[in-house]
Structure 1
Amino acid sequence: RMWLWLGLVGQKLLFWGAASAVSLAGASLFLNLLQMVASYARKWQQMRPIPTIGRPYPLVGHALYMKPSGKEFFQQLIQYTEEYRHLPLLKLWLGPLPIVALYNAENVEVILNSSKQINKSSMYQFLEPWLGLGLLTSTGYKWRSRRKMLTPTFHFTILEDFLDIMNEQANILVHKLEKHVDQEAFNCFFYITLCALDIICETAMGKNIGAQSNEDSEYVRAVYRMSDVIFRRMKMPWLWLDLWYLMFKEGWEHKRCLKILHRFTNNVIAERVSEMKTDEEHRDADSNCAPSTMKRKAFLDLLLTVTDEEGNKLSHEDIREEVDTFMFEGHDTTAAAINWSLYLLGSHPEVQRKVDDELDEVFGKSDRPATSEDLKKLKYLECVIKETLRLFPSVPLFARSLSDDCEVAGFRVVKGTQAVIVPYALHRDPKYFPNPEEFRPERFFPENAQGRHPYAYVPFSAGPRNCIGQKFAIMEEKTILSCILRKLWVESNQKMEELGLAGELILRPTNGIWIKLKRRNADKA
């Protein structure tokens, strides 16, 4: 009987304990929800004076206003910034998250020039499964130490070593484009993108994937699909919870693409480490013999040898983070800039003739590869690239998460707000760029740029977290464009409204860039 009585008591104690645990968990959850609602209400009240769009819905805010497709969403964003350009900033609510859109140079400077406001937006967390906490997504001490460690790898003398790769891939591209000479208009966007992908793979990883020859690469498809699903998720608060996201088709697709991307990068890193060990063994065996496996140096090789202030090397995971970041940031952006340049040059033959004249001055009739000295002399072409990036910034918007309250244009913007900079609208401010829709490379002549607000033009961001790879990007764009334009003449009859601009992670034309090609000088006056 005693054992029976003890058993019953034990069962009751277990029941009471379980009931207490459930009650405690429920109370804790309720308390957390209450705190979230209180924080939401407090921020709502504090941010009330900032101008907003329409009437946001409770809890979901403006999320239901936002168009689902990249094309429709970007057109919506353009419409808002044009309609409210007279306002210094604009407030939106994405679920319980406050957002301020900035497209005025003086206000953009407040955020980008701050040494405190360096945290990337919480929206970037959706890139972390792919990129980890690399240079793009990290913050605080990790970002500062990683930036300091990696800056020397982007020194111009190191970038010069990549010029051979850029020339080789640009020549393959031109050979493919020549098949379209004197033919009907065609969409050149994918041609340029595959060339840029080959360049970044070989310069970042030392791996030639032959994307220009093999357009159906599993890795290539995974890169593009991953970009699309990440951007869609950013706009939909109901897909932010990881467990919930995996219940949807896009969540499973995200998981599948992630596996492909990481497997590829991990294999390349492992191959490179093995090759470096073999090279070292060969050097030890015979210092007079060049190792048979020696290849051109890539960013990956530099990452494998770089050390921090305490002499520590990067781990395998650290290296993969940075290689994946280079891959993500280093091909789509440059490809977009080159495509937009071809579109604008094809639409403005008078500008293309000036580029033509400059190419004659620098290269004459020679079809030799471009050198770093040649690229320095292509000053007008550089102005063309800069003006292209003004009209069509490769990254149409980027964001910071405010780590402290700050004042912007006399308004208090609270900690935790997402400050979204919109270069597409910023670069069209008539105060700094009269007749902003006109394509005029002369805007970037030194005498014309003098006195312009330094934050009126930020295609590579600005301040402490500016793009570490901007010299690499300009070098690649000059190399590819000069290679194309030394052999071919570009024509484009597409109107702006026919492009179908989509401001996703990258500014893309959903309808493509359609051009006609002729032999160079055929139409030159």
Structure 2
Amino acid sequence: MWILFIAALCCLYLYTWVRLYPGKFPVYPGVIPLLGNVSILSGGSEIITDPDDCYAVLSSCMHRSGAAKKFAKTFIGNGLLFGPVSVWKEHRKLINPTFNQQVLDGFIETFNSQSRRLVQELQESAGKDSFNQHVCLEKNALETVCLTTAGVDLTDQNEFNKKCLTAFRGVFNALAKRGMNPLLHFECFYNISNTKKEELQHVKITHELTNIVLRRKRESQDKEQNNKSDTKFKPFLDRLLESSDKLSTQDLKDETNSMILTGFESTSGTLSYCLLLLGTHNNIQEKCYQEINEVFGDSDRDVTKDDLPRLKYIEMVLKETMRLCPVVPYTTRVITEDVQLKNAVLRKGHLCFVGLYGAMHHPTWGPDVEQFVPERWLDTSGLNPNAFAAFGHGRRNCVGKVYAMMMMKVSMVHILRAYRVSGEYNRMRIKNMGINKPVDGHQITLYNR
């Protein structure tokens, strides 16, 4: 009875939404009152995501889905990730210079020192049974992002950092539960649900992290008042604090929280998938190790900015990992003007889901699209540039893509120089919580070289 009752409410919810907002949803022939087009789900319909169509939408439309913004508002607020276009434009102008190459080159020393810390932490699991490497990589990436973009050292609060990572995962779980339950889309139902309580408990901890970062940064600035640089190319948080006349206190918190979240989730997720794939494809892992030997020889020295362009095969491996296993599998846009696709027109006012995963698994990649083939990046002249969407497309793409690649390259050198990796990628199961995560963690086995 309860199942029938909930199903009826869901149908009523969908019917009411369409009646209240006519024209907001595309109409497909064969619509049935109340049930809509649910009948087509019983057939063999196929959905294909075209890279050029994805590019067309992301390049012309910048408004995020209202539902996504509503769901994430308590967690992230109006930062770059989900903020309205008017806010995004102003904040992006301020933030763009913070990822200038001059600033990024200054992070190399931190990338090296943090990678060495990671290698030491992983040593506890070397030569033992398989373990979830992502736990170590997440914490290290969180601390690295805070050390670089924020200029704040959080390595002295190890247990709190672990607590924060648990809280971040808890928020994603809560938001995923809400997204999958139509009843919880209504604020009246969500506000009295246990899922809402869970979200607020976890969000409180993540925001506490942001408050600690801001407080420590202000304290360090007070001590260094006489050493201010006049250059416009300054790290992320320095730039924002100096623009306090343009940003409210809440704006500052929202952008800091967004940068911490996107910074550590994207890099740690990609590195975890990459090591799991290398552990499955030993021949590719060996090619990475050979390249490291060619660049560094027997030396254990740090990676320099001049070394990064020479690590061509490792870059190909990272790009192929992001193509095969994107951390962010989709994004959303509100169509603000009619968009011509190859075989259809998206009308103004519609909501569009853009399948980044679909674009990067599209047949245009060739018959080996589902295979891990880094060599496909040797000659990109035959590749459709719109088919690689790991960092998005258009003006609202990822602002930290160069930062992420630099950080991951340095980490890969230190990890593969110290360990041989074993894993079974084909046994991994994925769950989506807005971002893709393995159901059972990123299980690998490490062996000292």
**Normalised by the shorter chain, which TM-score bucket?**
0.7 to 0.9
Structure 2: how far apart are the matches of 1:34 and 1:321?
35
Distance change in 2, residues 1:180/1:271 (3 Å): closer
**What is the SS of the residue equivalent to 2:420?**
strand
Distance change in 2, residues 1:271/1:179 (3 Å): closer
Equivalent in the alignment of 1:165: 110
Query: Greater CA radius of gyration, 1 or 2?
Result: 1
Q: Match for 1:456: what amino acid?
A: A
**Which of 334, 339, 356 is residue 406 of structure 1 equivalent to?**
339
Distance change in 2, residues 1:419/1:330 (3 Å): same
Structure 1: how far apart are the matches of 2:374 and 2:147?
31
**Which of 143, 148, 164 is residue 203 of structure 1 equivalent to?**
148
Equivalent in the alignment of 2:291: 358
1:47 aligns with 2:27: yes
Structure 2: how far apart are the matches of 1:37 and 1:504?
26
**Shift of residue 377 of structure 1?**
1.1
Structure 2: how far apart are the matches of 1:112 and 1:275?
39
Structure 2: how far apart are the matches of 1:111 and 1:221?
35
Structure 1: how far apart are the matches of 2:36 and 2:344?
23
1:299 aligns with 2:275: no
Instruction: For structure 2, list consecutive stretches of 5 or more residues without a partner in the other structure.
Output: 1-13, 229-233
Deviations 1:159-191 (A, max 9, x none): 122222222221111112223333222221211
Equivalent in the alignment of 1:415: 348
RMSD: 2.8
Aligned-residue sequence identity (percent) comes to 29
- Say whether the 8 Å CA contact 2:171–2:203 is kept in structure 1: yes
Distance change in 2, residues 1:356/1:170 (3 Å): same
**Which of 250, 254, 262 is residue 321 of structure 1 equivalent to?**
254
Structure 2: how far apart are the matches of 1:37 and 1:395?
29
Distance change in 2, residues 1:177/1:43 (3 Å): closer
Structure 2: how far apart are the matches of 1:243 and 1:484?
49
Structure 1: how far apart are the matches of 2:122 and 2:308?
22
Q: Match for 2:272: what amino acid?
A: N
Equivalent in the alignment of 1:279: 224
1:508 aligns with 2:414: no
TM-score (norm 1): 0.75
TM-score (norm 2): 0.87
Asked which structure has the greater RCO (Cα within 8 Å, sep 6+), the reply is: 2
**What is the SS of the residue equivalent to 1:431?**
helix
Distance change in 2, residues 1:154/1:377 (3 Å): same
Structure 1: how far apart are the matches of 2:157 and 2:295?
28
Q: Match for 1:199: what amino acid?
A: T
Distance change in 2, residues 1:495/1:299 (3 Å): closer
- Say whether the 8 Å CA contact 1:122–1:418 is kept in structure 2: no
Structure 2: how far apart are the matches of 1:128 and 1:372?
38
**Which of 112, 119, 122 is residue 174 of structure 1 equivalent to?**
119
Structure 2: how far apart are the matches of 1:60 and 1:215?
48
Equivalent in the alignment of 1:523: none
Structure 2: how far apart are the matches of 1:418 and 1:451?
32
1:187 aligns with 2:132: yes
- Say whether the 8 Å CA contact 2:94–2:239 is kept in structure 1: no
**Shift of residue 488 of structure 1?**
0.9
**Which of 358, 381, 387 is residue 450 of structure 1 equivalent to?**
381
**Shift of residue 36 of structure 1?**
5.5
**Shift of residue 61 of structure 1?**
7.6
Q: Match for 1:321: what amino acid?
A: D
Equivalent in the alignment of 1:10: none
Deviations 1:384-433 (A, max 9, x none): 00001111011111111112343333334333322112222221222223
**Which of 243, 246, 253 is residue 198 of structure 2 equivalent to?**
253
Instruction: For structure 1, list consecutive stretches of 5 or more residues without a partner in the other structure.
Output: 1-32, 66-79, 89-102, 284-289, 292-296, 521-525
Deviations 1:70-100 (A, max 9, x none): xxxxxxxxxx9xx755x55xxxxxxxxxxxx
**What is the SS of the residue equivalent to 1:172?**
helix
Structure 2: how far apart are the matches of 1:365 and 1:156?
29
- Say whether the 8 Å CA contact 2:148–2:235 is kept in structure 1: yes
Equivalent in the alignment of 1:124: 68
Matches within 5 A, 1:7-26: none
1:482 aligns with 2:413: yes
- Say whether the 8 Å CA contact 1:198–1:212 is kept in structure 2: no
1:113 aligns with 2:59: yes
Distance change in 2, residues 1:320/1:277 (3 Å): same
